[in-house]
Amino acid sequence: MRIVIAGGHGQIALRLERLLARRGDEVAGVIRRPEQAGDLLAAGAEPVVCDLESASVGDIARHLEGADAAVFAAGAGPGSGIERKDTVDRGAATLFADAAEAAGVRRFVVVSSMGADGQPPEGTDPVFAAYLRAKGAADADVRSRAGLDWTILRPGRLTDDPGTGLVTLDESTGRGEVTRDDVAAVLMGLLDTPGTAGRTLELIGGRTPVEEAVRAVAG
């Protein structure tokens, strides 16, 4: 497969790129800064420099032409303010979805966040609340598109511990932690499993092997 990943220099994206490249897939990562290219090349991915906050739909669609799947894993990241939560976590996600439709790429997987549906609890940090609202709005936009075979993955609290290969994956899992390694492994499983299209799934660590957990949620 050829897979194009938005936010290609993110921690989950780099892990996913390594997994895909290792098994022989062709993978490209969309990055904002040219100096990030070396890390993608080391992961086995083709770096594509394109700023999702300023690019047009046509600019991005050209990079998606011929792809079998697109993954949105971009985010404004820690230290960014409320405005960039909207322009990246919402705006760039909808732009990438527009571009996927324009390029005829139906398979579309989104890395979202647990808690993105509904209003953030009272007392939530304002910037984090803006992040959750932006993710929720982006997810709602993607779910409304008949032109995409979408899957939305909502991990729990992310850790950098080594992956276990054991997870809980369902429409509702309850709160919990999950390693970035295991998130990447689940994303690869979702890309391999068209039957997961149309599902919004939560993910935390658990006791079920990744491949089995993905098969269980496939339609």
Residues with catalytic roles: 131
Q: How many residues does the chain have?
A: 219
DSSP codes of every residue in 106-135: -EEEEE--TT-SSPPPTT--HHHHHHHHHH
Q: Which two tokens stand for residue 117?
A: 């549906």
DSSP 18: H
Number of neighbouring beta carbons within 10 Å of residue 11: 16
Number of neighbouring beta carbons within 10 Å of residue 162: 10
Q: Give the chain's end-to-end CA distance (angstroms, integer).
A: 22
